[in-house]
């Protein structure tokens, strides 16, 4: 019996797609950077089915690409072009298994859409703090496998901080039931951490226990114009101090990003009363105190006095608040119509953000005069999306041809400043060899040994995350 016929006996004929048109959406990466081929897309409906399918793959040496919502941006979730791999999608495993209100936890299937999980927490008066632009289609299994970040990391931490337990199908088909809801457990290696951020290279996450938090009753947002990124960093310190650490998000937005959203996305106008080079979005949240508007006002007054604030708008309604968040979320898409953009998802220590921006802008200006820096993102975490946009009069392909050169300049500066070349989106296929330039051989060697120990046949998302071996 062929491998696919055998798999069909486990999942049934409807849960195995082989027609190219049925598979299309599973083969293309979100930014169209990678378009792969696959033998089939398998859609199991339970952990047991995943395990049986993986056992067949292990026995027949069939390579697997685990896939969640396919929203990741580094090519880890799509197969290679040779068409030899199968995709195992967790799409049909989309249930919330149970809710523990006293303990503040949820047990979820890996294929649960992030927005559905948030809604479920909300129904019980809680919140799940992972908030990202792709939340309507990404899945918690994908969030865990990429250790996703988002706008509230500043206060609640990355996905890693939200996970108490995991259920994983290992590359030999065994099921590891690590679905504990313990907050403290010092009994040896914390194995779940290997799979969080593991990008599907060590096993398929099939279930998880995640934390819920009391839903803040009060929130106050402001968009604040600042003279420069250094003032933004000072403002973060001030806001944290004056609010009693109630800052749940802080994003930096440059003038060009507002202009691009207004120009390319319907329904947006410039929210600021005048044109400022830099602005930040600051969100305060609290379950206890309803005076956040006063707290924000005090922060602004102190900011004006110390000249780190130039101007501010404080939304008066939920709708206005959502519009400001909407503007922030639209920045990624609004760059597309302007031509080539060379993306970086970097982090440096928060206090060094201003120096990073200065150094990177100056270095790129010397090799691509008139490039347009679109530098935005999670300044509160030291994480910037540093996306130099092509000069207006340059050919797009000529500009994109400089991708490697630009990456090298930017990543060298990041490395020199003890930063990370991938703060949020992971490594996947896009950055696996880039990572090898900046991680020590000791670290890469440890990663290879872990991979070898858990997946000696190299069937679980091969060719992703780990750098290619040199001849
Ligand atoms: C508009 C937009 C905004 C975004 N904003 C953010 C942001 O603010 N912060 C952020 O961190 N990311 C962001 N992302 C990136 C992306 O949404 C996240 O990386 C997300 O966590 C990926 O989840 P997914 O379900 O789509 O995973 P996929 O893309 O399907 O997979 C991602 C990786 O995990 C593996 N994988 C998926 N499911 C499993 C599983 N069950 N078991 C084992 N391995 C698995 C895949 O093989 C792949 O390597 C954004 C993306 C878009 C398109």
Q: What is the pLDDT of residues 59-118, one digit of tens each?
A: 999 999 999 999 999 999 999 999 999 999 999 999 999 999 999 999 999 999 999 999
pLDDT digits 0-9 by tens, 42-52: 999 999 999 99
Q: Is 377 in the pocket of ligand 1 (CB under 6 A)?
A: no
First and final CA of the chain: distance in angstroms? 37
Query: pLDDT class for 159, splitting at 50, 70, 90?
Result: very high
For residue 134, how far is its CA from the centre of ligand 1 (angstroms)? 8
Which of 132, 336, 466 for a ligand 1 pocket mutation test, highest count of atoms within 8 Å of Cβ? 132
For residue 143, how far is its CA from the centre of ligand 1 (angstroms)? 5
Question: Looking at residue 59, what is its pLDDT?
Answer: 97
pLDDT digits 0-9 by tens, 11-44: 999 999 999 999 999 999 988 889 999 999 999 9
Name the nearest CA neighbour of 278 among 373, 362, 200: 373
Query: pLDDT class for 147, splitting at 50, 70, 90?
Result: very high
| Mean pLDDT on 346-352 | 97
Residue 365: half-sphere exposure toward Cβ, Cα within 13 Å: 8
Q: What angle do CA 460, 111, 160 make, to 5 degrees?
A: 75
Measured between alpha carbons, how far is residue 185 from residues 180, 189, 191, 205 in Å?
A: 9, 10, 12, 20
Query: pLDDT class for 423, splitting at 50, 70, 90?
Result: very high
Q: β-strand 383-389 against 372-378: which pairing, if any?
A: antiparallel
Question: Looking at residue 72, what is its pLDDT?
Answer: 93
Measured between alpha carbons, how far is residue 225 from residues 270, 275, 330, 340 in Å?
A: 13, 9, 19, 28
The dihedrals phi and psi of 44, each to the nearest 5 degrees, come to: -70, 160
Strand order in the sheet with 175-178: 96-100, 105-109, 204-211, 163-169, 175-178
Q: Is 73 in the pocket of ligand 1 (CB under 6 A)?
A: yes
Query: pLDDT class for 471, splitting at 50, 70, 90?
Result: low
Retrieve residue 292's tokens.
Answer: 């956040």
Alpha helices for 306-390 (secondary structure H): 318-334, 353-367
For residue 62, how far is its CA from the centre of ligand 1 (angstroms)? 23
pLDDT digits 0-9 by tens, 361-382: 999 999 999 999 999 999 999 9
pLDDT digits 0-9 by tens, 308-323: 999 999 998 999 999 9
Measured distance CA(344)–CA(385) in Å, rounded: 6
pLDDT digits 0-9 by tens, 260-296: 999 999 999 999 999 999 999 999 999 887 899 999 9
Which residues are bridge partners to 252 per DSSP? 280, 377
Question: Looking at residue 31, what is its pLDDT?
Answer: 83
Atom from ligand 1 closest to the CA of residue 464: 49
| Mean pLDDT on 342-359 | 97
Residue 195 has pLDDT above 70, yes or no: yes
Measured distance CA(258)–CA(330) in Å, rounded: 9
pLDDT digits 0-9 by tens, 218-252: 999 999 999 999 999 999 999 999 999 999 999 99
The dihedrals phi and psi of 455, each to the nearest 5 degrees, come to: -135, 65
Which residues are bridge partners to 219 per DSSP? 285
| 403 within 8 A of 445, measured Cβ to Cβ | no
For residue 78, how far is its CA from the centre of ligand 1 (angstroms)? 11
Q: Is the whole-model pTM more than 0.85? A: yes
Domains of the chain in sequence order: 3-89 (3.30.43.10), 96-214 (3.30.465.10), 218-333 (3.30.70.2190), 336-416 (3.30.70.2740)
Greatest Cα pair distance, the chain, in angstroms, is 77
Measured distance CA(185)–CA(55) in Å, rounded: 30
Q: What is the residue-wise DSSP string for 64-93? A: EEEESSS--SSS-SS--TTS--EEEE-TT-
Atom from ligand 1 closest to the CA of residue 206: 41
Query: If you average pLDDT over every residue of the chain, what do you get?
Result: 96
Retrieve residue 100's tokens.
Answer: 């523990």
Alpha helices for 111-228 (secondary structure H): 114-123, 140-146, 153-156, 159-162, 192-195
Strand order in the sheet with 247-254: 311-313, 218-226, 278-286, 247-254, 372-378, 383-389, 345-347
Question: Looking at residue 33, what is its pLDDT?
Answer: 87
According to DSSP, residue 103 is labeled T
């Amino acid at each position: 019996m062929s491998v696919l016929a055998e798999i069909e006996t486990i999942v049934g004929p409807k849960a195995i797609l082989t027609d190219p048109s049925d598979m299309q959406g599973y083969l293309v990466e979100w930014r169209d950077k990678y378009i792969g081929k696959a033998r089939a897309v398998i859609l199991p409906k339970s952990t047991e089915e995943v395990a049986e399918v993986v056992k067949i793959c292990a026995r027949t040496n069939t390579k697997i690409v685990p896939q969640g919502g396919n929203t990741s941006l580094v090519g880890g979730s799509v197969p290679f072009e040779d068409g030899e791999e199968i995709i195992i999608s967790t799409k049909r495993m989309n249930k919330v298994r149970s809710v523990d209100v006293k303990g503040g936890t949820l047990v979820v299937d890996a294929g649960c859409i992030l927005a559905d999980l948030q809604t479920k927490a909300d129904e019980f008066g809680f919140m799940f703090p992972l908030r990202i632009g792709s939340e309507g289609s990404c899945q918690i299994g994908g969030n865990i496998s990429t250790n996703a970040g988002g706008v509230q990391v500043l206060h609640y931490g990355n996905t890693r901080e939200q996970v108490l337990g995991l259920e994983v199908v290992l590359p030999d088909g065994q099921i590891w039931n690590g679905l504990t809801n313990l907050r403290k457990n010092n009994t040896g290696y914390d194995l779940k951490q290997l799979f969080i951020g593991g990008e599907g290279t060590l096993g398929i996450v099939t279930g998880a226990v995640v934390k819920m938090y009391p839903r803040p009753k009060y929130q106050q947002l402001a968009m604040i114009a600042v003279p420069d990124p250094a003032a933004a960093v000072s403002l973060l310190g001030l806001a944290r101090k004056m609010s009693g650490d109630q800052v749940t998000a802080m994003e930096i937005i440059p003038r060009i990003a507002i202009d691009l959203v207004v120009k390319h996305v319907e329904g947006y106008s410039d929210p600021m009363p005048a044109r400022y080079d830099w602005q930040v979005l600051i969100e305060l949240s609290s379950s206890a105190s309803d005076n956040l508007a006063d707290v924000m006002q005090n922060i602004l007054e102190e900011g004006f006095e110390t000249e780190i604030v130039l101007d501010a708008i404080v939304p008066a309604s939920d709708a206005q608040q959502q519009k400001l968040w909407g503007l922030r979320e639209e920045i990624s898409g609004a760059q597309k119509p302007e031509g080539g953009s060379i993306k970086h998802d970097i982090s440096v220590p928060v206090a060094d953000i201003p120096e990073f921006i200065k150094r990177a802008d100056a270095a790129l200006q010397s090799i691509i005069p008139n490039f347009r820096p679109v530098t935005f993102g999670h300044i509160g975490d030291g994480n910037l999306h540093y996306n130099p946009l092509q000069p207006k009069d340059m050919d797009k392909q000529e500009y994109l041809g400089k991708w490697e050169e630009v990456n090298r300049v930017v990543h060298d500066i990041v490395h020199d400043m003890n930063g990370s070349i991938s703060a949020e989106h992971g490594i996947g296929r896009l950055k696996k060899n880039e990572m090898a330039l900046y991680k020590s051989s000791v670290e890469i060697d440890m990663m290879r040994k872990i991979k070898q120990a858990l997946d000696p046949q190299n069937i679980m998302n091969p060719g992703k995350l780990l750098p290619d071996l040199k001849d």
